[in-house]
Chains A and B, each alone.
Chain A
Amino acid sequence: MRYAEVGYNLEIDLSRGNIERVETDPKLTELHLGGLGTNAKILWDRVPPETDPFSPDNLLIFGAGLFCGTPAVGANRTIVTTYSPQTLLMGYSMMGGFFAPELKYAGYDKIIFRGKSPSLIYVYIHNDKVEIRDASHLRGKGAVETSEIIKKEVKDRNVQVSAIGLAGENRVYMASIEQGRSSASRLGLGAVMGDKGIKAIAVRGTKKDIYLARPAEFLDLCNQVLEYIKYRAENPIKNVEPIFQGLGTPQEMKIIDEKWHTTGFMWGNARTRRKDFWTKEVEEKWREVQENVRKRLISCYNCPMKCGAIISVPGLSTYMMKCYSKLTYTMAAYSDLDFGFKIAQRATEYGVDGFSTPQTMAFAIELYEAGILTDQDMAGMPADTEGRFYWLLDRIVRREGIGDILADGTYWAAKKIGKGAEVYAHNTIKKHEQLPLKLGMLNPVYFLMYCTGEKINITQIEGQFPQEPFPLREMREEFVKDWIQVPDDRFKQYFLDWEPRGEKSNPYYPTVDMAVDIVDWQEKMHYIDDALGICAGLSSFPLKPPYHIHNYPLFISAALGIDLDEEGLTRIYQRNRNLIRGINVRRGLRRADEKPPEDHWKKRFPELEEKLLDAYYQFKGWNRDGIPTQETLEQLDLGYIAEDLKQRGII
């Protein structure tokens, strides 16, 4: 009997049209849990590091988290893994929604695609029945549109569909995989899906029950989580901005007050801060816009939060939105919310990432204004900014003219354009566009997370520890009183002593060792979430979440019928962390790549930064170049990685 997981993967070879249901090794669950952990293991084992992301030998893996389909609240994440065409490293992006549980109820933990289909197809999975179907009639269709057509075609509105739009079909590096109210957007995974000729995957599961080893114990833990969510709803965190007060991903669909984002984050090509932007008039106007288009606040599978919304702009087809994308287009174009909701509708149908895409368009406009891109390059572009954004979006997803160059994102586009364009591609890490955020004083904890995060996206690394010190000690004392989530009381002390100014402030406090310690905790929580498929919004991302390092071992033990303690779970985290580092090191990742955008902070401290990286690597058991040592790997049952790296002369 397999608990929490199904114990079978679906292997689809698109070149040969072969479909197999393959039993998985339960030992791997003990070592890596599931989701991201086992996805990474498959990628390491089966895709050699020389493989081009667009090679038929590259795998595209849709993995349900270990807890998806169990009663664990908020366990609904699908972890999509492949080699990213943009970063050329391992790319993993995740989506909530309803796909992962449906896949498990159909009888599979993962779908693993290899090869390439000679023509555009979609895959229809209905329990044991799995078909590769012709999708030529879906070519060029929007992602949401595709999902609706397939639901009609299979005559089942309960089917869950993951689809790409035009961007994915045309292998645009910022192409997303859209799934109803959710998407796996970052790192260009939609491009790999398009390259393989997969327009969509539709799944319906009714036959497979998901089992728990110690059900009463597990349910008791779930009830505690629900109670804590209710408690947190009634007790928002004090002394922080509204956006940090509650659980879930930032409640962008609910909240009208956008002072924090609009005055703190940068507009244009991550360029201008508008400290005075948020006024009463703007608030009134934006309230009207948002309330007018928002039909309902919605959630993902088995989660009481309401992080997403159904958005219906008059005259445009309805779509679903989550989180921050309402502002990314708005702010990149120096426009307003009305524009944001309208262009996001088109962008969702095209299937593009809401971070990279607007930034790339703003980058193009800057290049044009600087004379680097000429009238000839931009022939036909309208004069108004909003018109320009639509024009650029249409070209990027079709790879038409200048769009073909921009479709690779700012890093690669700048290289191709030359003429000094590189300076304008100023906001990437490891070739991937980052949040449009530019700050004053270096924060040592954030420095490390930006540099070393394998997800290459700060929101998937941060959380747990406040982003800034609270001004008064009394406030800090109040905050730590019920801070049950800390792995150890020393973290409370770090926070209590952290001052906005003076000796114990950024960049030298938290000290190097403390910063490493804090980052390790935050990373640990994300790695566990991503293996279990629990949404970061109930765990690693917000302050004081219901899931934490003290109750996770109990959950996992009850689900699987094992006895796992915090130490054991920490080892699993370390194993998964080092496995992914191993994959990327084998793809060429080195210390030189681990740096934030040069202008992320105005005040930089090269000596301190070196010390931080040294200490972080040492803490992880890596050498000075960020490569795990043989000893570290062997201790974590990853001797085979050490062996491989040795053979390649990397260690």
Chain B
Amino acid sequence: MAKVKKKVKVIKIDLDKCNGCRACEMICSAFHASPKYASNNPARSRIQVIHDPLRDVYLPVYAGEYTAAECMGRDKYVIDGKEYSECDFCRASCPSRGAFKDPDSGLPLKCDMCEDDPQQEKPLCVQWCINEALTYEEKEEEVEEEVKPEDVEIGLKAMIDKYGKEKVIDTMARMSKKA
């Protein structure tokens, strides 16, 4: 496969600057509403602030890939005397927890860096984090070319993993008949 230059979008997360307000969750869900900003619900957000105030834990985490199976073990990290579960840092939408799943459909959510037309200057969570716990930078990297799956494809793949290909095809066929 050919090597191509790719713009890599990086969100830098400075835990020390997070005041725990969760504006990032709110605005993420509002941006991804349809029409845009018409509604919001942080449970639909592709960023979650893992928080446990009395232990001074504030950890914004972004939704990454969907995974069909949970990990075999759950490790713990202790950083500066504070205990974190491995899951706290994990971006996966996985069967072990409720995070990064649409609360109605259960379908996995994934951060898309607010890709938009016209292009947003920065992802919305970064725009709303005026304390600069979240900052944005872009850099160029050489990578191998790949075909990026569409949102629908990611969603369908998750459904297939969960229910099996036949069940999904049957349901699709039944639904299109009804339509």
Contacts and interface: CB of A to CB of B under 8 A. Distances in A.
Given A211-B38, A216-B37, A296-B58, A304 B130 contact: yes
Contacts of B58: 296
A466 interface: no
Given A298-B20, A299-B19, A302-B22, A310 B36 contact: no
A180 interface: yes
A304 B19 contact: yes
Contacts of A303: 21, 23
Most chain A CB within 10 A, of B39, B53, B103, is at B53
A71 B43 contact: no
A209 B40 contact: yes
Contacts, number: 101
Most chain B CB within 10 A, of A207, A210, A297, is at A210
Chain B interface category by residue count: 20 to 34
Contacts of A226: 128, 130
Contacts of A320: 53-54
B164 to A, nearest CB: 27
Most chain B CB within 10 A, of A69, A205, A298, is at A298
Interface in B33-64: 33, 35-44, 51-56, 58
Nearest to B24: A302
A139 B124 CA distance: 44
Contacts of A71: 26-27, 30, 37, 40
Main secondary structure, interface of A, reads loop
Given A302-B23, A304-B23, A304-B130, A209 B53 contact: no
Given A206-B43, A210-B39, A216-B37, A298 B26 contact: no
Nearest to A105: B41
B142 interface: no
Contact of A318 (B36, B37, B51, B54): B54
Given A215-B37, A215-B38, A318-B54, A299 B130 contact: no
A306 B58 CA distance: 14
Contacts of A216: 36-37
A181 interface: yes
Given A209-B40, A210-B40, A304 B103 contact: no
Nearest to A74: B21
Contacts of B140: none
A212 B37 contact: yes
A206 B128 contact: no
Contacts of A302: 21-23, 26
6 contacts: A105-B41, A181-B53, A208-B41, A230-B130, A295-B56, A306-B19
Q: What are the 3 tightest A-B residue pairs by CB atom distance, in nearest-first order?
A: A206-B43, A215-B37, A209-B39
